[in-house]
Amino acid sequence: MTRLAFAACVTACLGGPSSAETDVLHLTPTERAILGQEIRAVLLTVPELLPMDRPAPDAADLYAEAIEDDLARLKTHASALFSPNLPGFGPAGATHTIALFTRDNCPDCTRAETDLRALAKRHDLRVTLLDMEENSALADALQLDIAPSYVFPDQMLRGHIPAIVLERYLED
């Protein structure tokens, strides 16, 4: 409805005897300025054409369904990600768990594992190491396509994350 009203506003601004001769796609700077003034005048006269009092949508609302889907996938695959019997390091009953997906010949993956090993010495952290090719079905199920990827019980992070940032996740 608002778009229809706005279209009517533009049509009214362009209307009149000369509108048949005006190519709105190729206005001169003077014609563009006049059109802008006319549109502004109409919007000031009829402000409900562009409701400005409507709050911007909350980002959490925009992504709520995607977040729910991710959390459901994480719950479904939790044992394949965080079982203490899987290859990795850190105490089996650690407070924090991360599954790290890596690839061969990936410098960022090597750096990620090194960072996590250092963090595991300072925090109660268990890290599961998963090769992306060997665990391709799991990576696909989680929609992971970048190595390294960090999988927490409640979120997934793609690409190398600096140790200082990871430490903040472990402190919260």
- Beta strands 149-152 and 96-102 are antiparallel
Q: What's the pLDDT band for 62 if we cut at 50, 70, 90?
A: confident
pTM for the full model?
Answer: 0.65
CB atoms within 10 A of CB 121: 10
55 vs 136, higher pLDDT: 136
Q: String of b and e for 36-61 (b: at least 16 CB within 10 Å)? A: eeebeebeeeeeebeeeeeeeeeeee
How far apart CA 172 and CA 168 sit, in angstroms, is: 6
Pair of tokens at residue 89: 């390091």
The per-residue pLDDT for range 95-154, each reduced to its tens digit, is 999 999 999 999 999 999 999 999 999 999 999 999 999 999 999 999 999 999 999 999
Phi, psi of 124 (to 5 degrees): -80, 85
The per-residue pLDDT for range 22-43, each reduced to its tens digit, is 676 778 888 888 888 888 888 7
